[in-house]
Structure 1
Amino acid sequence: MFGRKQRELAAQVQQQAARMQELEQQLATVNNQDRAPVSTSNREGILDLFNVSPSHAGPVVNATTAMRSSAVYASVALIAGAIASMPKPIFQRTAVGREPTDHPYWWLLNEEPTPCFSAYAFWEYLVSCKLLRGDGYAYIDRNGAGVPVELVPVPWANVIAEKRGRRLVYFIELDGEYIGVDQDDMLHFPSLGFDGVKSPSVIKLAAKQAVGVSLAAEEYAGRFFSNGARPDFALKHPGNPTKEQVNLLREMWQERHQGVGHSHLPAVLTGGMDVAELTMSAEDSQLLETRKWQVIDIARAFGVPPHMIGETEKTSAWGTGIEQMSIGFVRFTLNRHLRPIEQELNRKLWPSSPRYFVEFNREGLLAGDSKAEAEYFTKALGGPGNRGYMTVNEVRRIKNLPPIEGGDVLYTPESTSNAQPPAEPDQGQP
């Protein structure tokens, strides 16, 4: 199937490759020595090259510069790391529901999708692209029988998606060659705002100005402290010094007082000179409050609770304890990413066989809290007056323990009420 589709797209690929190479040659003429060449498929790279995508605060905000903000880095690392660490078991549908199965795709999804990537690095990279770029891509390499044997992550800048009728065609740069790929052979994980072809990133759609202010505040704070934690000022002289005298005075002052190491050296003013402050102090400009607010604003754009990226001044509305915070994080933040990823995997890996499906194991996030995990499994197994929804062997399977005899029976209150009471001891026996 893949070979036929690839042959149908061969002519289109050649045209796309020729067009891209021609545009890259034209673009190379405007690249100066301080900038690396930018691929024409990298739309953000082109905007950054000409510096036409600055925020209102001044700094250019894109996927690369945004990660310099600690709030953006923490948000992306939290979401991508949580999804990458979750187990991805494969199930098969049965007449009574479903059951886990030992499927060959399990290795691709949980251990090694491609020789250059571990499964954790693979998922962390794709989710990061989804958050920072808008779309995450992975090429499905199939054998002659159409069975996936490798999942290859493709950089966002190396993909051009085009709509042909009601289907998508992808032109990708892989191993130095341009190839055309049908939508059945490309994992495409879009974000909010997907228009059927591509998605806007969180940075561009909702957090551009917040990240720009954060970067500007970081730069201002750095310059403030590099100047010895002093605001900008001017030296006032009652006379009329010459240009040479002004330059000499400026150089001597900078050499003597600029930098944190010289911040406490006493200043000696002669000839009636005085110092006049030109800008607001850090306290007047509320630098610290601004930086705190930007953390909250950026966290809101990513759907991350601020307390999970280090902003602990505000209390959480998700309850107390790691269990409640983990449940809230999975329910309100991760599920908006997990469900689309599951649907994309299931429709691309098993397009004609709905018997199998993959599903993230949300309970995997509770593995680090033994108390919360014990309470969860206790409720799942059931107890007096409460019906259980997991068997002992299902719990043991999650904990990588072998099954036990009789461990597949689901607990119900009726099962204990119908049990035979123990026999009364014979009163004639000691």
Structure 2
Amino acid sequence: MLFDRLRRPNTVAPDPAPETKASAAARLVNMAAGTQAAWSPRDTGSLTRSGFVANPVGFRAVKLIAEAAAALPVTLQDVARRYDTHPMLALINRPNAAQGRAAFLEALYGHLLLSGNAFIEAAGGEGLPAELHVLRSDRMRVVPGADGWPQAYEYAVGGRKHRFAHSAISPICHIRSFHPQDDHYGLSPLQAAAMSVDVHNAASRWSKSLLDNAARPSGALVWRGTDALGTLSEEQFRRLSDEIADSFQGARNAGRPMVLEGGLDWKPMGFSPSDMEFQQTKDAAAREIALAFGVPPMLMGIKGDATYANYQEANRAFYRLTVLPLAARVMAELSDWLSAHLGQPLTLAPDLDQVPALAAEREAQWRRIAGADFLTDAEKRHMLGLPAKMQEQADG
């Protein structure tokens, strides 16, 4: 019979002690131990693993923003005209032999969202670079000079390091988000959402452990024996723990009844998911992660969010408040950097008239400005973000 071996006395019984002082808690075999809150490390590699690789909410938020921003049509213009074809546009559309525009920009936005920093390397060519490559932000280090400004960028991989000298026309374009307490590195949304990521991951691990332990809450086996075995020896404690692990834990043992005899009694010590409002806690953590990235929870299928009246309104707010500001800032810094290489001031910007989510807004704006008879054509073009005239082909 199960557990009857626990009642068998040892082969050689020890001499009784003249006086026995046993703790009242010694009769409890505790199957769960409370611990303090443990937070994951806050370095870029650890945050990426816990908040993107191992967390579906963080993964989906980053993918939504990066893919939406990378898919935005891009315009190139100067103060006088807009270009339909240009070497800079050709470089953006095919930055290197291994990546197209969408893959290149998705990697760029992804690193910026995950680490708060994005690094682009200009490779080859005189003037405009021949290729552009996104470098991993967790491998790049800013080397400050005596004045505090960056004097070089150091890229380390496989025990080897390569230093890029910082100059007026730098081979590295460093795009970083705002960080109030760091002069050289940006603050990522994942860092702001790190505690919520830990809560969400811990909730998932709790659910998995609950299934592995036959969906039973943690508790204690209480020994109520009245014979010489008033307390469990170390060997008996280990044997009992092994019996429980082998016979009652895991999905294959789910629902299997536990046979107790000889004074053993099971005392549940944990709270049920309903008592803990467990699912609500997990959903709240998911909403906080989405909030940190600027993604409406409705777009990610998170329950309990009624911020927007419908999906279309949430999608429009997602583009207007998150995707477009990010893409506009990245394109502005990228065009300034490439203009320095080319020696010609040009501006890259998202084409708002080709964003389906903003079609209704743009149509209303065009109709309102076109109907303003007191404005000149040049003023109307300026208000719509257009140059003074159109130029379909680049000079030369």
What TM-score do you get using the length of structure 2 for normalisation?
A: 0.72
Which residue is 1:101 aligned to?
A: 84
How far 1:249 moved relative to its partner?
3.0
> Kindly tell me: are residues 257 and 174 of structure 1, through their superposed partners in 2, closer, same or farther at Cα, counting changes over 3 Å?
closer
The farther-off stretch of 175-184 and 150-159 is 175-184
1:286 maps to which of 272, 277, 281: 277
Q: Distance in 2 between matches of 1:286 and 1:378?
A: 46
C-alpha RMSD over aligned residues:
3.1
Q: How much has 1:180 moved relative to structure 2?
A: 2.2
Identity of aligned residues (%): 22
Matched, 1:146 2:131: no
Residue 212 of structure 1: aligned partner? 198
Q: Give the CA deviation at 1:211.
A: 1.5
State the partner residue of 1:200. 187
TM-score, normalization: structure 1? 0.67
The structural deviation recorded for 1:224 is: 1.3
2:162 corresponds to 1:162:
no
Shift of 1:99: 2.5
Partner of 1:180: 164
* Structure 1 residue 64 corresponds to structure 2 residue 12: no
Structure 1 residue runs of 5 or longer lacking an equivalent are 1-54, 392-407, 409-430
Match of 1:308 among 292, 299, 312: 299
Preserved CA contact (<8 Å) 2:287 2:297: yes
SS in 1 for 2:162: strand
Alignment of 1:125-140 (within 5 A): 125-140=107-122
Call closer, same or farther: CA 1:199–1:209 in 2, change over 3 Å: same
| 1:255 pairs with 2:246 | yes
Cα deviation, 1:18-68, whole Å, max 9, x if unaligned, reads: xxxxxxxxxxxxxxxxxxxxxxxxxxxxxxxxxxxxx94444452222211
**1:266 correspondence with 2:257:** yes
CA shift, 1:230, in A, is 0.8
The 1:252/1:56 distance shift into structure 2, 3 A limit, reads closer
Displacement of 1:358 in angstroms is 0.9
Give the Cα separation in 2 of the matches to 1:249 and 1:155.
Answer: 50
Amino acid of the residue matched to residue 232 of structure 1?
S
- Deviation of 1:244 after TM superposition, in Å, equals 3.3
**In 1, Cα distance between equivalents of 2:164 and 2:362:** 48
User: What is the rounded CA distance, in whole Å, between the counterparts of 2:215 and 2:40 in structure 1?
Assistant: 22
Contact 1:56 1:209 in 2 (8 A): no
Deviation readout 1:363-382 (Å, 9 max, x if unpaired): 4441xx7xx85x56765774
CA contact (8 A) 1:76 1:128 kept: yes
The Cα of 1:314 is off from its aligned counterpart by 1.4
Cα distance, 1:91 vs structure 2: 2.1
Is the Cα–Cα contact under 8 Å of residues 66 and 203 in structure 1 kept in the other structure?
A: yes
Which residue does the alignment assign to 1:337? Answer: 326
How many residue pairs end up in the alignment?
Answer: 324
Q: Residues of 2 paired with 1:331 and 1:377: CA distance?
A: 12
- Return the letter of the residue paired with 1:258: Q
1:360 is aligned to 2:343 = no
Distance 2:351 2:37 in 1: 42
Cα displacement (A) at 1:248? 2.8
